[in-house]
Amino acid sequence: MLHLIAGLIPAPLHRLLYRVAHSSRKRWLRWRGGEVHGCSVIARDAAGRVLLVRHSYGSGLWSFPGGGINRGEEPAMGAAREFSEELRCGLTDLRHLGTLDEQFHGARNVAHVFTGDISGEPRPDMREIVEARFFGLDDLPENRSRMVDARLELLR
């Protein structure tokens, strides 16, 4: 339901709201700590390249698509949902690679990492995701999140 309502907000305003929410969440987590659960998806095309995205908020570095897992949601369902919402395409052969225990703005982040084959052409929502591009494993961009390399270790 929220996804439908969000579509009614003009994209530039939506991107601004993402930046405000991201900044607020960082401050909250640094103050409160706690634990968050998320997912990342290493989506590959037929040539074996991986899909990286740039978010409309945060550092602007290239990273894998993904996001938060809702309370009571299975990690695989969360990964498929996040991927579909952000890129408007699907995945086949979704497999769990492992779980990473990381720090995320002062909180513990339990990150479930998945891989799968992309089904369709990725189309960034231009709200949360502003760019999506495939990269060869030997041709990754230098301006990528440190989390990209940690997640790729699970793929190898």
- The CA distance from 85 to 125, in Å, is 8
CA distance 9 to 21: 15
Per-residue pLDDT of 11-33, as tens digits, reads 767 666 666 555 666 566 566 76
What average pLDDT does range 103-122 have in this prediction? 88
Question: pTM of the prediction?
Answer: 0.84
C-alpha–C-alpha distance, residues 97 and 132, integer Å: 22
pLDDT tens-digit readout, 91-110: 999 999 999 998 776 777 79
Task: Give 2-155's CATH code, choosing from 3.90.1150.10, 3.90.79.10, 3.40.50.720, 3.90.100.10.
Answer: 3.90.79.10
Instruction: Write down the domain spans for the chain.
Output: 2-155
Q: Provide the β-strand partners of residue 38.
A: 68, 111
> Residue 134 — very low, low, confident or very high, per pLDDT cuts 50/70/90?
very high
